[in-house]
Structure 1
Amino acid sequence: MTRARCIALIAHDQKKDDMADFAGRHQAQLTGVRIVATGTTGGRIKDACPDLDVTRLKSGPLGGDQQIGALIATGEVDMLIFLVDPLTSMPHDVDVKALMRLATVYDIPMALNLATAEILLASALG
């Protein structure tokens, strides 16, 4: 039995609208894909696209970034889209860096902005 592809979606506060819009624009491509997301981001995606398979984890600062890191380390995540707001301070910057490090170590395709997310999704699910 083959498992469904899994995409991790995370967005900083100022990028949550962008992530919900991204999911809405790509809802057809994301149908049938397992999505794991940090708490608030997952809620916003679920509100925008109620039919998508979204598993909400904890909020990023409360451990959600680390939960996604664990899923990467166990081979359960195939792609990471993390819309980062470079103009806002991140109190949990250490967690964010650890997550990006894990994606790099485990060779997981990772997008940190919308332009790269569009290309990554098109190449993986196009």
Structure 2
Amino acid sequence: MKIALIAHDKKKDDMVQFTIAYKHILEKHDLFATGTTGLRIQEATGLKIHRFQSGPLGGDQEIGALVAKNEMDAVFFFRDPLTAQPHEPDVSALIRLCDVYAIPLATNMGTAEILVKGLERGDFTWRNIIHEKN
């Protein structure tokens, strides 16, 4: 599965802790991340991650392009709902695309833990049908 990892500045520590806790699951998948988030995860876990630009420089849109082509299987986007983001339209567009293409999306730790456990159980095998059609 192809999995995107994104976190706003105040949520990067949470994302790093999440990836440390679930490294044994995440390492079995193709990981993608926005720039700084990906770097922090790589440094903390040693996981192999394809890094895009940082979010404000277009990383959210790069991941959104993969979602729009149905080439991303899950998105873990730890958002900071209490801080205004200069690229908020990009954030909203990415979330909208996940809804349009029925891509599982976690925007907080609680939902992320449910999704990652489902990933471990094999609950995402339905995504293989999508890939076979394309």
TM-score bucket (shorter structure): over 0.9
* Structure 1 residue runs without a partner (length 5+): none
**RMSD of aligned Cα (Å):** 0.8
Distance 1:76 1:41 in 2: 20
Distance 2:120 2:67 in 1: 19
Task: Report the equivalent of 1:57.
Answer: 52
**Number of corresponding residues:** 121
- TM-score, L = length of structure 2: 0.88
Equivalent positions of 1:1-126 (< 5 A) are: 5-50=1-46, 52-126=47-121
Kept after mapping to 2: 8 A contact 1:38/1:64? yes
Moved beyond 2 Å, runs of 4+:
none
- TM-score, L = length of structure 1: 0.93
Identity %: 53
* Structure 2 residue runs without a partner (length 5+): 122-134
Deviation at 1:32, TM superposition (A): 2.0
Distance 2:79 2:112 in 1: 12
Q: Which amino acid aligns with 1:73?
A: A
Task: Report the equivalent of 2:131.
Answer: none
Deviation at 1:53, TM superposition (A): 2.2
SS in 2 for 1:58: coil
Task: Report the equivalent of 2:126.
Answer: none
Q: Deviations over 1:45-101 (max 9, x none)?
A: 101111x22011000010000000001111221001100111111111000000001
Distance 2:6 2:113 in 1: 15
Q: Is the helix fraction higher in 1 or 2?
A: 2
